[in-house]
Chain A
Amino acid sequence: MSDPIKLTVDGREVTAPGGQLLIKAAEEHGTYIPRFCWHPRMKPVGMCRMCLVEVEGPRGKVLVTSCTTPVAEGMVVHTKSDVVKKAQEGVLEFLLVNHPLDCPVCDKGGECPLQDQTLSHGPGESRFVEEKRHFEKPIAISELVMLDRERCILCARCTRFSDEISGDPLIEFIDRGNHTQINTFPDEPFASYFSGNTVQICPVGALTATPYRFRARPWDLEAVESTCPQCSVGCRVSVQASQNQVLRLIGVDVDATNQGWLCDKGRFAFEHLRAPARLSTPLVRGADGELHEAGWGEALDLIASRIGAVIAERGPAAVAGLGGARSTNEEAYAFGKLLRGVLGTGNLDASLGDDPGAALLAGVPHRATIDDLERAKTILVWGPDLKEELPVLHLRVRRAATALGADVVVVHPRATGLDRDAAHVVRYRPGEGAATLQRLAAGEGDLAAVRAALDTGPVVAIVGRTGLAESADLADAVAAFALTLADAKVMPVARRGNVLGAIDMGVHPHLLPGRVAASDAAARAALAAAWGCAVAVPGRDTSGILSGMADGSIAAVLLLGCDPVADHPDRKAAAAAFDKAPFLVSLDLFLNESNRTADVVLPVDTFTEVEGTMTNLEGRVQKSNRIVPGVGASRPVVEILEDLAARLGGSIGAGAAAIAKEIALVAPAYAAVSWEALDWGRGRDGIVVAEGPFTHTPERRATDPSVGALTLHLGRVLYDGGTMITAGPSLARLAPEPAAHLHPDDASRLGFAAGDRVTVTGNAGSAAMAVAIDPTLARGTVYLPFNLGASIGNGLEVKVEK
């Protein structure tokens, strides 16, 4: 865009940035030009012809599509002339000629641009008397999306999205003229992690998503804006519900984060909220060893007396708490306050050992925001496959590469979703990360060009765990290297929705609320003064707590929305710890691998059911809102914890709103954060909290272990065995089968073919699974998707046998 220019729209002189599209310039000055195919986040195609306007030219007025015409100095535009009106009526009549007009049974009815614009700009009636065009309908083009070609108005929004935005062009027009239709390729379904966006932007009811089909009429829906909790990108969503049931999520367009898009996991995982397996009443283990339904009073009394007894007998250091990364900041704060203040234990951790380390997450200097990607010239991605773990961040990096000209450098053991758009791709074996970093930093050999690319700033380095078999030190080392680059910022990434928020709230042995070092006695004293009770000294982190459980030194554990047996990289060690059966309390939505041995399980209200805030991977605090009640007897976490605190002679605060105010007072980084300041509305993109006071200087101390012929890459996939995936019918069936992926050279060396059943043995056990061939994998590597049922430990050493 260049300097502002002046133009005349319907007789009114207005100013617009040179090069801006007319349709947008007009809209910004209050003149709405009807449209179907134009979408502000995609390139214009000028296909529907609905946005025609007249522009005065040397040879009189000409009709042009305002979505393809940039404004120019002195341009004179008529958007409501008789010719324009006639043309718009004509286009609408044409669109309706073959439209089935099955509005009464169409999900789009009531929020349909075709209905709305027919009313506002269309002819009163159709003169078409012949038989309409017919197609078989609807047809499933994927597990999640149905296509009705009769309703389709051929606007190319869905095809453009798949091609331009998500980069998986699995749908395309076929045939021509009046037979033009959307279709998939033979034998290839529209299996995109982003397919729901096409449903959202389809201007008619041609694309519908199975979870919402026939569930509601738009006018019966209530909506509230909120933040997707499924990963740490923190996409802004509109949660829409009817009759106390969430029915769909719609992406909200904000520049800072998701720009309107959502991934299908974020969009459809809400189904777990009303899954039959969801807990709706407290459960207490009876004398028969089984869990039985219980009343809240009974359950909380039991917890208070058992924990009280543990503290009395063994001291508070025998108590620990894990979790909080799936909770709101207010819940995490309450959890930390209960543990540190009321129970007096410093054993607490929100991070499950599957992220790049709390120090890097919370204390990285020069933290990048997602929007820094808009200005980056070079983007280094050495971490998870973003498409699998942080899908909408993947879209933002892809946009930087494909639309903004940034050079992307991907370092990973196998192909990632970004490779096709990357300027450089570096493959390495897990276990050789430090050496690879060494070679990259020195620009050795084939890495010279990659190293040279990194010299062009601004650089954004996205750093995290490529897989769970590799040490978290590697991410720290990569961050340290990145900080030596010109004009560089670093974005440490972890997957779980509010892991940074929970750490910021002090759910970590070494950090108090607001990223204050817990070892600082003065800071503890200040907090104690605010809390009105003593603040425990630093205790154990997750691995310390697990080993304490295993050796008996930890006798009581509180789990807050947390399933270490499934999610800890060393699942066997976690399982062993839980098998020792300390007194175990779990606040959760479902029974899971960790809490199946719990003594008390408490059902909690969750996303869409509670009000609070979340902090995404940028440190951006955003609001989450309530629109439906919980299920059965479930209760908000903060109320449960307060009742428990009261029974133990303390208090953590009355309700999330009060806690939010307290956070602003005691957590320095969060001083400017308040629910009022975050209330969604125009222009409110959350608040990015300042860096510090705790800071961490990343170090290149990672070293490579010596590993044998095969090394393990334990990567994640979007649809894994997580409870939020498996509890909802739509996503559950999308989880792939576990398989041992081998490079073709390794497979032939070992004598395996795709589909062979093999036994894979790691440091903690063996599992049987099929072989899959992956030519993109670094040689000498076995790739196993994490959390798909099979567990062999997370040591790098691995064997594959018949």
Chain B
Amino acid sequence: MTDRILTVRMEAHPTDSHTMARYEATGGYAALRKALAMKPEDIVAEVKASNLRGRGGAGFPTGVKWGFLAPTRPRYLVINADESEPGTFKDRQLLERDPHQLLEGIIISSFAIDAHHAFVFVRGEYPRSARRLQQAVEEARAAGYLGRGILGTGFDLDVTVHLGAGAYICGEETAALNSLEGRRGEPRIKPPFPAVAGLYAKPTIVNNVETIANIPWIVMNGGAAYNAIGPEGSRGTRLLSLSGHVANPGNYEIVMGMSWRDLIFGIGGGIPNGKALKCWIPGGASAPWFTPDLLDTPVTLDDIAKNGSMAGSGAVVVMDETTNVVAAAWSIVRFFSHESCGQCTPCREGTTWLQRILERILAGQGRPSDVDLLLDVCDNISPGLRWPPAQTTICPLGPSAVSPITSIMKHFRDEVVAMIPGAVTAGV
């Protein structure tokens, strides 16, 4: 059974997997030829049948999203390559090591949704990714895969590679659209969703790099074949970015369903320096943390959700027993406070307040009331402190800053309390 889709070429040809020559020599653009001979709606049907779910964080079924497009034209495809969540570095590898795979996916997807202009919003700190992709675009245009009358068909497509200006929030799809339009990178109120009114208020599909990189394989092999890989709800393969206190950090393309133990201790090589595992973040900085009692649960989207967190963007961050969890939470909260776009009062003010309370605790100036205060400020950003979170904000960034705090309060409350002079550990 196939256990890798996206990284086969780059593993086999580490020096030139990004070039057109290598791409074509290894079967590249065959899927495009096949797709152009299909009816667009049949491609959408294959993507639906594949049960491919978005890799940008929310895990929304891609074929279903494409089906939401409003009938009006023009339509746009926007590829989200903003990848800025701490611990996530998988899209970069796809962009730099196999840009044609993404590009072929873009061309097929555009054909499927009848878009004639696609945009790739690349994280500002990824100039190399943008260069590689731009080079691929130029090669593809020269080879007749892009431009007017692609491969002799009536299909026209242009691809614009846009380098962002260094704001994490532009990874939120509507903020990316604003930024592309030259506005402030701020999330929009939804509805309307991009599929109805997106870029320049036209129907727009926003998909993650990894999501679209899967499309050529699906077209080549059929949706059913893709749907046969991996457990239900987590079909296909997935690129996980493993980092933190593991012996072998890096990107790993896996078929989901293995246990966390296999991932962290098998693939990841375990915790270095003989230390014990304390906890890990299963799906990016916004995800609630897991503790070793969940080591034998399966790594699937649904199991992670059932256990109160999310697979998110595929960033797994491992923390060993020496980790100061308050400092770790502070570091994440500071990130979100720094990256808040500032529109919503609770996010703009609340995340900064949380950061400053944690700073006080870390400086030994915590107050006994801070434990309740932290949780109540969190509650005012994400009422009920539920999972999946409710929010008083426009986008989920605000509630993202809540996850590390609720995580440390749930699992390590005693450690927090111990750092606060005069606070009393709840005795049993």
- Residues of A whose CB lies within 8 Å of any CB of B are 44-50, 52, 62-63, 65, 68, 83, 86-87, 89-91, 93-95, 97-98, 127-130, 153-154, 172-173, 175-180
Contact = CB atoms under 8 A, between A and B. Distances in A.
Contacts of B383: 63, 83, 86-87
B346 interface: yes
Contact of A178 (B167, B169, B349, B392): B349
Contacts of A98: 349
B373 interface: yes
B344 interface: yes
Contacts of B381: 90
Interface string B349-376: 1111100100010000001010001000
Contacts of B380: 86-87, 89-91, 93-94
A177 B340 contact: yes
B337 interface: yes
A177 B338 contact: yes
B184 interface: yes
A65 B346 CA distance: 13
B342 A173 contact: yes
A52 B383 CA distance: 12
B237 interface: no
Name the residue in A44, A89, A176 with the highest tally of chain B Cβ atoms < 10 Å from its Cβ: A176
A91 B353 contact: no
A97 B353 contact: yes
Name the residue in B339, B341, B344 with the highest tally of chain A Cβ atoms < 10 Å from its Cβ: B344
A46 B189 contact: yes
Task: Identify whether the interface residues of B are mostly helix, strand, loop, or mixed.
Answer: helix
A411 B390 CA distance: 55
6 contacts: A87-B380, A90-B350, A91-B392, A128-B353, A154-B345, A177-B339
Given A50-B345, A130-B360, A176-B342, 8 more contacts: A48-B345, A91-B380, A94-B349, A154-B342, A175-B342, A177-B338, A178-B337, A179-B342
Interface string B377-398: 0011101100000111110000
Interface in B307-335: none
A82 to B, nearest CB: 10
Contacts of A172: 184
Interface residues on B, range: 35 or more
B189 A63 contact: no
A765 to B, nearest CB: 50
Given A47-B343, A178-B340, A63 B349 contact: no
A677 B393 CA distance: 48
A177 B189 contact: no
A127 B340 contact: no
B348 interface: yes
A359 B184 CA distance: 52
Contacts of B342: 154, 173, 175-180
B391 A46 contact: no
A127 B346 contact: no
B337 A94 contact: no
Contacts of B367: 129
A90 B392 contact: yes
Contacts of B373: 127
Given A63-B383, A173-B342, A68 B189 contact: yes
Nearest to A87: B392
Nearest to A98: B349
B349 A97 contact: yes
A94 B340 contact: no
B394 to A, nearest CB: 6
Contact of B393 (A44, A49, A127, A178): A49
A176 B167 contact: yes
Contacts of A177: 337-342, 348, 351-352
B390 A62 contact: yes
A86 B376 CA distance: 10
Nearest to A83: B383
A176 B349 contact: no
Given A63-B383, A63-B391, A178 B352 contact: yes
Contacts of B337: 177-178
Contacts of A62: 390
A562 B184 CA distance: 50
B353 A46 contact: no
Nearest to A130: B356
Contacts of B379: 86, 90
A375 to B, nearest CB: 25
Contacts of A179: 342
Given A46-B394, A86-B379, A176-B341, A91 B346 contact: yes
A169 to B, nearest CB: 11
Nearest to B338: A177
B120 to A, nearest CB: 23
Nearest to B352: A178
A154 B167 CA distance: 19
B423 to A, nearest CB: 15
Contacts of A130: 353, 356, 360
Nearest to A93: B380
Contact of B349 (A50, A65, A89, A95): A95
B344 A173 contact: no
Contacts of B356: 130
A170 to B, nearest CB: 16
Contacts of B348: 94, 154, 177-178, 180
Name the residue in A86, A98, A127, A178 with the highest tally of chain B Cβ atoms < 10 Å from its Cβ: A178
A63 B392 contact: yes
B188 to A, nearest CB: 9
A172 B369 CA distance: 39
Query: Which 5 interchain pairs have the tightest Cβ spacing?
Result: A90-B380, A180-B342, A94-B349, A177-B340, A178-B352
Interface string B163-179: 00001010000000000
Contact of A94 (B184, B341, B346, B384): B346
B167 to A, nearest CB: 7
Contacts of A52: 392
Nearest to A89: B380
B425 to A, nearest CB: 22
Nearest to A60: B390
Contacts of A180: 341-342, 348
A95 B346 CA distance: 8
A45 B345 CA distance: 12
A177 B184 CA distance: 12
A46 B394 CA distance: 8
Contacts of B340: 176-178
A175 B169 CA distance: 13
A52 B382 CA distance: 13
A91 B380 CA distance: 7
Nearest to A95: B345
A526 B373 CA distance: 83
Interface in B96-153: none
Nearest to B360: A130
Contacts of B391: 63
A173 B184 contact: yes
A190 to B, nearest CB: 18
Name the residue in B167, B373, B383, B392 with the highest tally of chain A Cβ atoms < 10 Å from its Cβ: B392
Contacts of A49: 344-346, 392-393
A48 B343 CA distance: 7
A282 B383 CA distance: 71
A94 B169 CA distance: 21
Name the residue in A87, A153, A173 with the highest tally of chain B Cβ atoms < 10 Å from its Cβ: A87
B115 to A, nearest CB: 27
A180 B356 CA distance: 18
A50 B394 CA distance: 12
Contacts of B392: 49, 52, 63, 87, 90-91
A669 B391 CA distance: 60
Given A176-B167, A178-B337, A47 B345 contact: yes
B147 to A, nearest CB: 33
A176 B339 CA distance: 8
Name the residue in B348, B353, B356, B384 with the highest tally of chain A Cβ atoms < 10 Å from its Cβ: B348
Nearest to A173: B184
